[in-house]
Amino acid sequence: MSESTVLSPPQKALIKLGLTRDIDLALHLPLRYEDETRIVKLRDAREGDTAQIEATVTSCEISHRPRRQLVVTVDDGSDTCVLRFFSFYPSQQKALAVGARLRIRGELKGGFLGWQMVHPTFKPAGGALPSALTPIYSTVASLPQAYLRKAVLGALSRADLSDTLAPGASPPALWSLGQSLHFLHQPKPDVPLGSLEDRRHPAWQRLKAEELLAQQLSQLQSKRERDTLRSPKLLAQHQGLHEQLLAVLPFKLTRAQQRVSEEIARDLGRIVPMHRLLQGDVGSGKTVVAAFAAAIAIDAGWQCALMAPTEILAEQHFRKLIGWLEPLLAPRGLRVAWLTGSQKKKERTQMLGLVAGGEAALVVGTHAVIQDQVQFKKLGLAVIDEQHRFGVAQRLALRAKMTEPGQEPHLLMMSATPIPRTLAMSYYADLDVSTIDELPPGRTPVVTKLIADSRRDEVTERIRGQVAMGRQVYWVCPLIEESEALDLSNATATHEALSQALPGVMVGLLHSRMPVGEKKAVMSLFTSGQMGVLVSTTVIEVGVDVPNASLMVIEHAERFGLSQLHQLRGRVGRGAAASACVLLYSPGQSGRLGETARERLKAMAQTADGFEIARRDLEIRGPGEFLGARQSGAPLLRFADLTTDTDLLEWARKLAPMMLDRHPELSRLHMARWLGGKSEYLKA
């Protein structure tokens, strides 16, 4: 390696942070600003201020109470202030010697004993004061602020910041990109802090609008690329398999199920690949809609694959679909096949044969469905349940199972986590969305209660009552093993305690580290009704369907996301029995549950509407929860906030098609500027 290629630690840090191009640095905006333009007098300061003072050291000594620390007293002529350092070097101690005159900066705390600062920064007094606010960037230890600041300013002067918006795009903010970036990186002396931090300022508006536009362009472009691919035309036959399926179902479809089935059937009948997300709250009946789509594909002479994230879920689908479809398929010499990782070799070989030969009209399974050895004869439709649990690569692998070049199977993705509208419009802009907004009739609403962990015994009594009535109970724990750091009770301990407290009741345990065979055995005891109580970690989160379960207890509910709690709660209230969900919470160390945590849990008790809950989750936790694996590695929005910037999103959404149609070169430049090489991730 030649010497010139050896990178310094700050250079390495820049690469690690993805700040490689000038434009990347220019778009790395300050986290906040510090006001180093003024020296304040202690007399005029207020509690909590981050203040800069100039003062003389009047005493400097090491104290050992309550722990070893350097205690320095300074006087600025108006008042005194005590500086405390819990770690310090001899050189610092020297610089803080009695008589030294220093410029000191830190957060002021009051109290009975006068002003204090803990670990303030300091340097010799005097020297010029900066004329403008100082930007502070997000960085890492090996990349000092001063180095980064210089790198940013250099990049800002070199980067091409010319306008990439189409002429006449009428941006929502009149400021240009260059103006906005210079304003935020290099505040002018007279610019007040408020306007730099105000995200409604034209500079911020411009950046957010541009960012959203890049995202919309990239998604629209990948949608258009996909539209050039071809899929088989799967036309629903009159009196075909899907109508026969309707006749054998033990229930009538809800209006919402009918509507989404029609939307899907319409897509299947076209030669462009379907790319549709079917969303519907837990228990809304998505499986049967998938079965309809499968029936249409099979009728047209093609195979359908259904992939689920866990074996338990895949098996449940398998049973249901076999029950519904196999009697209809058998007369045609067709079957439903089953593929999982835990399968015996012999069975697997047999299944692979059925898939390759085309006899398996429907193939249900886990990730095993996308493995190399699996070869379909004619894959026409791929269904992915709980799509957010799969990664980009897995989705691409399933789509690649189509044998003819340039062809793709139709793709139906299902999710029980409803995606708020703004997210659907941004991250999922390349998807068509169908929504089941109605539950099947006869469901009883689940009553949700917030109960302190100290009242566990009462909850156990309640379980006893439910089991005595022949009902079943889920008990969900957030962790499998004891963790020293977090005092969370674990599934194993809870399982033991409940087994002791409930003699004569079969209490089972299910957690993600158990071997698959054991998991299945436990699950089948619960499904068949022999097991009264099932203690588990979140493995039951997705899709499990036991209508006789009427009570769910969630331990340490404060550790879960709202949407996750809602999913869990959806496991009860599936039958006619009155059902309840108990959210057990542990008051925090300070003796009470944090205010926001309580508010969150209260929201759970107040609403059963998955969309409303998802909206609140988005507000509280940001979009990461919803995107899951879909966006791993892809840029999340840095500047725009989907809960407040809906008008900017609308603007970007309208502009994107026009830009791609009439200004392909500007579109390309814009995407390259904002997304760099990352836009590939958005395509799957």
Query: How far is 555 from 89, CA to CA, in rounded Å?
Result: 47
Identity of the residue, 280 or 420, whose beta carbon is nearer to Mg ion in the bound complex: 280
Please name which of 309, 298, 409 lies closest in space to residue 369, comparing C-alpha atoms: 309
Strand partners, 535: 475, 509
Q: Please tell me whether residue 309 binds Mg ion under the rule CB under 5 A.
A: no
CB of 545 to Mg ion, least distance (A): 8
Contact by Cβ (8 Å): 590, 598: no
Write each residue from 106 to 125 as x if it is in contact with Mg ion (CB under 5 A), else as -, in one continuous string. Answer: --------------------
Q: How far is the CB of 483 from ligand ADP (least distance, A)?
A: 31
Nearer to Mg ion, 317 or 464 (CB): 317
Number of residues that bind ligand ADP (CB under 6 A): 18
User: Tokens 């690329």, residue?
Assistant: 225
d(CA 656, CA 663): 10
Alpha-carbon distance of 208 to 641, in angstroms, equals: 8
Distance of CA 27 to the CA centre of its chain: 24
| Separation between Cα atoms, residue 537 and residue 524, nearest integer Å | 17
**In whole angstroms, how close is the CB of 434 to ligand ADP at the nearest point?**
12
545 binds, among Mg ion, ligand ADP, none (CB under 5 to 8 A by kind): ligand ADP
Closest residue to ligand ADP using C-beta atoms:
285
287 lies in the binding site for ligand ADP (CB under 6 A): yes
- Verify binding: residue 144, ligand ADP, rule CB under 6 A: no
Query: How far is residue 12 from each of residues 154, 236, 366, 400, measured CA to CA in Å?
Result: 18, 58, 40, 37
Distance, in Å, from the CA atom of 502 to the CA atom of 381, rounded to the nearest integer, reads 48
- Residue 283 binding ligand ADP, by CB under 6 A: yes
Q: Which of 30, 280, 573, 610 binds ligand ADP (CB under 6 A)?
A: 280
Exposure letters 362-386 (e unless 16+ CB within 10 A, then b): bbbbbbbbbeeebebebbbbbbbbb
DSSP 8-state secondary structure symbol assigned to residue 455: G
Which of 170, 237, 251, 342 contacts ligand ADP by CB under 6 A? 251
Q: Is 623 in the site for Mg ion (CB under 5 A)?
A: no
Q: How far is the CB of 446 from ligand ADP (least distance, A)?
A: 14
DSSP state of 230: B
Partner in contact with 337, chosen from Mg ion, ligand ADP, none, beta carbon below 5 to 8 Å by kind: none
Q: Please state the closest distance from residue 349 (CB atom) to ligand ADP, in A.
A: 31
Q: If residue 358 lies in a helix (H) or strand (E), which one and from where to where?
A: none
Candidates 284, 422, 448, 538; binder of ligand ADP (CB under 6 A) is: 284
Binding region for Mg ion (CB under 5 A) out of 139-147, 187-195, 218-226, 543-551: 543-551
Stretch that binds Mg ion, among 348-356, 541-549, 593-601, 658-666 (CB under 5 A): 541-549
**Least distance from C-beta 518 to ligand ADP, angstroms?**
24
Task: Report CA dihedral (580, 586, 588, 589) to the nearest 10 degrees.
Answer: 170
The minimum distance between CB 289 and ligand ADP, in angstroms, equals 8
Residue 253 binding target from ligand ADP, Mg ion, none, CB below 5 to 8 Å by type = ligand ADP
The answer to the question of residue 261 lying near ligand ADP (CB under 6 A) is no
Dihedral sign from CA coordinates of 654, 656, 662, 667 = positive
Q: Does 545 bind ligand ADP (CB under 6 A)?
A: yes
Cβ 261 to Mg ion shortest distance, Å: 16
> What number of CA atoms fall less than 13 Å from residue 573's CA on the CB side?
24
490 binds ligand ADP (CB under 6 A): no
Contact region for ligand ADP (CB under 6 A) — 275-283, 483-491, 495-503, 676-684? 275-283
Q: How far is CA 676 from CA 18, 215, 633, in A?
A: 10, 12, 13
Which of 52, 279 has the CB closer to ligand ADP? 279
Assess 543 for contact with Mg ion (CB under 5 A).
Answer: yes
Site string for ligand ADP, 84-113 (x = CB under 6 A): ------------------------------
How far, in Å, CA of 147 to CA of 245, rounded? Answer: 68
Residue 521, classed as helix, strand or coil, is: helix
Three-state secondary-structure class, residue 320? helix
d(CA 474, CA 459): 12
Rounded distance, CA 370 to CA 400, Å?
9
Residue 610 binds to ligand ADP (criterion: CB under 6 A): no
| Contact indicator for 39, 23 with CB cutoff of 8 Å | no
Decide if 322 contacts 306 (C-beta within 8 A): no
- 547: phi then psi, degrees, rounded to nearest 5: -60, -25
The minimum distance between CB 10 and ligand ADP, in angstroms, equals 51
- How far is 279 from 258, CA to CA, in rounded Å? 14
The single residue among 17, 132, 253, 272 that binds ligand ADP, judged by CB under 6 A, is 253
Binding positions for ligand ADP, 426-445, rule CB under 6 A: 440
310 forms part of the interface with ligand ADP (CB under 6 A):
no
Report what 283 binds from Mg ion, ligand ADP, none; CB cut-off 5-8 Å by kind: ligand ADP
Q: Which two tokens stand for residue 465?
A: 């009552």
Site string for ligand ADP, 386-425 (x = CB under 6 A): ------------------------------x---------
- Contact residues toward Mg ion (CB under 5 A) are 543
The residue ranges that bind ligand ADP (CB under 6 A) are: 251-254, 257, 280, 282-288, 416, 440, 543, 545, 574
